A and B are shown apart, each in its own frame.
Chain A
Amino acid sequence: MPGFLLKRILQSLVLLLIVSVIGFVVLNLLPGGPLAQFGLDSSITQADLDRLREQLGLNRPLYVQYLDWAWRLLQGDWGHSFRDGAPVLEVIARHLWATFLLMGSSTIIAVSIGAWIGIRSATHRGSTFDYAATVGAMIALSIPTFWFGLVGIYVFSLKLGWLPAGNMYTIGDETVLDYLHHLILPSIVLALVHVAIWSRYMRSATLDVMNQDFVKTARAKGLSERRILMKHVVGNALLPMVTLAGIQLPSVLTGALVTETVFTWPGMGRLFLDSLGYSDYPVVMGLLMFSAILVIASNLIADIAVALIDPRIRLA
């Protein structure tokens, strides 16, 4: 187990290196750059722009900039935002919880509803429920998230007036209830696709397990169907789901990013789009590294969780 951990962490570091190189190169492919935001400002002259470029170190060769950035990162210095001069980690941390709130609530919705639909579909294979779940999941997977958000706003905010059109809270009314009220629409929008994904995977995992010999053994023992489902099927079917949860994280992040733009949610997604718009390299790179670390860490945690649950790995 420690050997396995060490190996995974080393692999992760290599992955991070790859991610950072890809990110840095792609980012610097963008013409323009962080100073473009002043291009229209009548009072900033080319001389000022040249001065700033030099001060920010943007006139150095790309590899020097990368090495400098990477070296600082290794020392724990994520750099400072070009836009507000704040340390990148602090900038990210300030947007973190809004995103986590959204991702968390939608994940809870997605996992609980998705798992329920998936198990029910598998145990009622071929039923109307199964069929409806299959069709529903595929349609849900086909709806563009941002469009679903727009339609949601149109129906529930503009027409019915039940739910707010955006934002995380009403200024002056920052009660838990108020937050929840604002959370409903975006988290449902974000959850939609993932309910579909979870239900599909849960269904096939459950079916896989149900076809295994040990389920037959359990039946031959005279166990009740309920016990077979709860003790033998669900446990084994959830095992690959843990891994899936890790793998799904980037897509949840992407979804959160899109959802945040539609619902003007002050999270990392919006920070990302804004920073990209301003070519705030340190923040964009920071966000990339952060999300990559998040993804890698969650995969690692998923693997460890699987290892802890699965005696074949835990004790091997």
Chain B
Amino acid sequence: MTDKTPPKSGLSRRSALRLMAASGLATFVAPHFLGGAAFAQEDREPKGRVVVGMSQEPTVFNPLMVHNEVDDAVHFSVFDALFRIDPDGVIQPNLAAEVPSVENGGISEDGLNWRVRLRDDVKWHDGKPFTAEDVKYTLELIVDPKFLSWRTGGHSLVRDLTVVSPTEITWRMESEFAPYLAFLAETFMVPKHILGAAEDPNTAPFNQSPIGTGAFKWSNRVPGDRVELVANEDYFGEGPFIEELIFKYIPDMTVLYTQFQSGDVDLVDQSYITPDHYAEAKELPDRTVTLEPGSSIEGIFFNLERPQFKDPAVREALYAALDRQSIIDGIYYGVGTMTETFMPPLSYYYDPDLPKQEFNLDKARKILDDAGWVPGSDGIRAKDGVRLAFANSTTSGNHLREQVQQYMQQIYREIGVEMTISNLPPAVMWGDFWTKSQFDTAMSGVTFLIASDPDVTNRFASTSSAAKGGQGSNTMQYSNPRVDELLKEGRGTFGQEERKKIYTEVQQIIREDLPFLPIFAYTVVMGRKSGLEGFKFNPNTRTPSWHAAAWSWKD
């Protein structure tokens, strides 16, 4: 159930490091879309209600606690982080008065000492002022070993947090960590005076009725059904222009679409509109339905420690026999972009010149023949006693993937490869089965980048495989010394052009090695009522409701 929809960790954003270099400028030329103050004089009275439909239920309202992407929509509306990433991938100040950079002195030359200045006009929903103490508390809470925090990456490097004044805080990084700025754009500030006073922050009442600084205030939750937010009239930034914001949980995607159609739902959040409804949806009157680029890649992931996949020829042949065009056109209704790499197409680092895969069964057969995989009496190829047979797993109940599986199964059979389908419920599929590489092959939509950085050490470094004792998510157990080398180099390189070279080579090697077969890069079908203005899709966040403050109803 975690995976009814392909995850939309929208991290197709430009490099944080690049932004560190450029942010000084960015602060001054930031589009007024986010400027807040620029809109303040409009000061429209919030009115109306927006119902956002989502197919999973938001349940975690303390943004620091371990949570899922479904919870983001609420977090973005109730809370603010120090920074915010705009649709173009530019990091903008939010609670911070400016984005720290080497240029403006916010970050020391060696990248270790940070200073952040805060706005002085921000109030919590209960009226108390927001100060640097809250930032300190937040950053300390995240690494509190008793606290069930979400990711601690980056935060665990922070040392010597010092509140200089209510609007200024400094700290030192244990080691340089370039993506931290982007991480902070997803780190929402929580009130020290409330959560800090609670006996146990894990079970504090705050977690069920959060108090933030965001454009919307917590109003009510009907569990299993909806979360209701109301406009924060004292919001320091632009907006809000709507009075009520409701996140409605509709577990069935068909029903969700039906309710969008009937007008019960004003905007479809995560899970979006399923591709099969796209053609129909875009013709709906008074609905704006658009295709937006996502950041995940749908692919077939090999467990490279399986004997049959150690031979690169096998992977190459399986790729050649993958009828991607039919899958996209026939099963995904043409929604999805052909890609050859893990890098999201919108990324600065995306390499468009990788060799194009071509669906060719004869070629696939020839590759296998040449590699010595000959058909046995049952028609299935084998080599050295290893049958070319494997299971493919994904979340059970994902109908489109199941259709793709059955289609692939039939075609692979034609080249003498036996693929069986063994789908698992999400709680099983994405547990140890996935993280500890217990699958043969898995079909999944994976987001490779963390916080917009092109660094994919976590996914492709040979030391990142949990099955081999590593701490990352290299579930394919991919291992290539050259890639390891390049990834190391990439983390230590600051220049954008240089990095692009490095990551282009990484993409080339991975295209060559094929540790996974890319099927397509996700495109999402965004749907909303036409009268809803101020909406902008942001591929760099995981939720379309990332900035509901700007939404308004057309008069």
Contact = CB atoms under 8 A, between A and B. Distances in A.
B7 A41 contact: yes
A239 interface: no
Interface in A41-84: 41-49, 51-52, 55-56, 80-81, 83-84
A83 B444 CA distance: 23
Contact of A84 (B51, B59, B146, B248): B59
Nearest to B430: A39
Contacts of B153: 43, 45, 48
Interface in B240-255: 246, 248-252, 255
B427 A37 contact: yes
A31 B433 contact: yes
A248 interface: no
B459 to A, nearest CB: 8
B207 A85 contact: yes
A84 to B, nearest CB: 4
Given A56-B148, A80-B203, A95-B223, A32 B458 contact: no
Given A37-B426, A44-B151, A32 B431 contact: yes
B69 interface: yes
Interface string A94-111: 110010000000000000
A33 B224 contact: no
Interface in B218-232: 222-226
A83 B60 contact: yes
A84 B203 contact: no
B62 interface: yes
Given A83-B59, A165-B258, A172-B49, A42 B432 contact: no
Contacts of A37: 2, 68, 426-427, 430
Nearest to B9: A42
B466 to A, nearest CB: 4
A188 interface: no
Contact of A45 (B226, B252, B445, B471): B471
A94 B251 CA distance: 17
A85 B2 contact: no
Chain A: number of interface residues, binned into ranges: 35 or more
Contacts of B425: 32, 276-277
Given A270-B224, A279-B427, A170 B202 contact: no
A32 B428 contact: yes
Contact of B152 (A30, A51, A170, A172): A51
B124 interface: no
Given A95-B224, A171-B51, A277-B425, A85 B258 contact: no
B472 A274 contact: no
A168 interface: yes
B68 A266 contact: no
A258 interface: no
B1 interface: yes
Contacts of B65: 85
B2 A52 contact: no
A146 to B, nearest CB: 12
B448 A42 contact: yes
Nearest to A270: B224
A48 B152 contact: yes
A264 interface: yes
A166 interface: yes
B543 interface: no
B508 interface: no
B81 to A, nearest CB: 14
Interface in B309-349: none
A253 to B, nearest CB: 16
A40 B224 contact: no
A166 B252 CA distance: 10
B433 A277 contact: no
B9 A55 contact: no
Contacts of B432: 31-33
B204 to A, nearest CB: 9
Contacts of A270: 224, 251
Interface in B425-482: 425-435, 444-451, 458-459, 466, 470-473
B269 to A, nearest CB: 15
Contacts of B434: 36, 39-40
A113 to B, nearest CB: 28
B440 to A, nearest CB: 16
Contacts of B69: 41
A227 to B, nearest CB: 50
B410 interface: no
A38 interface: yes
A104 B204 CA distance: 34
B505 interface: no
B194 to A, nearest CB: 15
Interface string A241-283: 0000000000000000000010010110011011011110000
B11 interface: yes
B391 interface: no
Contacts of B433: 31-32
A47 B463 CA distance: 13
Contacts of A46: 435, 466, 470-473
Given A31-B431, A85-B202, 20 more contacts: A31-B433, A34-B427, A36-B2, A38-B66, A39-B430, A39-B431, A40-B446, A42-B9, A43-B451, A46-B470, A55-B145, A55-B146, A80-B203, A85-B60, A85-B208, A165-B258, A167-B259, A264-B251, A273-B1, A274-B251
Interface of A: 30-49, 51-52, 55-56, 80-81, 83-87, 91, 94-95, 98, 165-168, 170-172, 261, 264, 266-267, 270-271, 273-274, 276-279
Interface of B: 1-3, 7, 9, 11, 49, 51, 57, 59-62, 65-66, 68-69, 145-146, 148, 150-153, 202-203, 207-208, 222-226, 246, 248-252, 255, 258-259, 264, 424-435, 444-451, 458-459, 466, 470-473
23 contacts: A32-B427, A36-B428, A38-B66, A38-B430, A40-B2, A40-B430, A42-B446, A44-B150, A45-B151, A46-B471, A47-B152, A47-B471, A51-B152, A52-B148, A84-B61, A85-B65, A85-B207, A168-B225, A264-B255, A274-B57, A274-B224, A277-B2, A278-B2
